[in-house]
Amino acid sequence: MAALQLEVFETGDPRAEAAPVDAAAEETRLAAYEQGYGAGWEDAMAAQAADQARLKADLGRNLQALGFTFHEARVHVLRAVEPLLVEVATHLLPALAREALAPLVLEVLMPLAEEMAERPLTLVLNPAARPAVEALLGEATGLPLTLVEEPTLGEGQVHLRIGDTETRIDLDRAIADIAAALRGFFDPTELERRHG
């Protein structure tokens, strides 16, 4: 069998003729690559800008929803706590004030003890508050006091008189101020104004 022989179509040196064709093709290929790279870069930047804009919009919506949810939760908690605080102000504070009246009178009275030696001390108080105040003052001071019952005074009110000087203790007023502040705090229009 004879070996297969192929016909040669080239003429001259193949490296010499291919070089100019390769340089032009390489230049065209590089220009196309740079054009494609630039277009890809522009697409990537546009996609990134669109993603950032979408993320900012989503974040803004989520923060707004979170703020609204927090506002709703705060108003709901305040509404739930309101009856408890009103009960404390209207029932518990007056009872505490009755118990605290005698110690408070003693606290105000002790710094005045020096003046009492020279001038008589008169306590003007509600008849219902007299037993507690009289018992504590008698035990703690042993000082001579004149107690005057005045039914027009509230159970949390006492007037201390030394000569022409008068000191007033008014726990009833303090309780009324606290209750009014609570009513004002829980007033629906006030809540909306503060949190709206």
What does the domain layout of the chain look like in residue ranges?
A: 63-195
Q: How far are the Cα atoms of 28, 123, 133, 160 from residue 148, in angstroms, in the given order? A: 115, 6, 12, 10
Q: Are 101 and 171 in contact (CB under 8 A)?
A: yes
Each residue's pLDDT, cut to its tens digit, for the chain (196 residues) gives 678 888 877 776 655 554 555 777 888 888 888 888 888 888 889 988 888 889 888 888 888 777 677 777 777 777 777 777 777 777 777 777 777 777 777 777 777 666 666 667 788 888 988 888 887 776 666 666 788 899 998 888 888 887 777 888 888 888 888 888 877 777 766 555 555 5
Query: Phi, psi (5° rounding) for residue 143?
Result: -80, 150
Strand order in the sheet with 157-162: 145-149, 121-125, 157-162, 165-170
Q: Are strands 157-162 and 165-170 parallel, antiparallel or unpaired?
A: antiparallel
Rounded to an integer, what distance in angstroms lies between the CA atom of residue 109 and that of residue 99? Answer: 17
Rounded to an integer, what distance in angstroms lies between the CA atom of residue 101 and that of residue 104? Answer: 5
125 forms beta bridges with: 149, 158
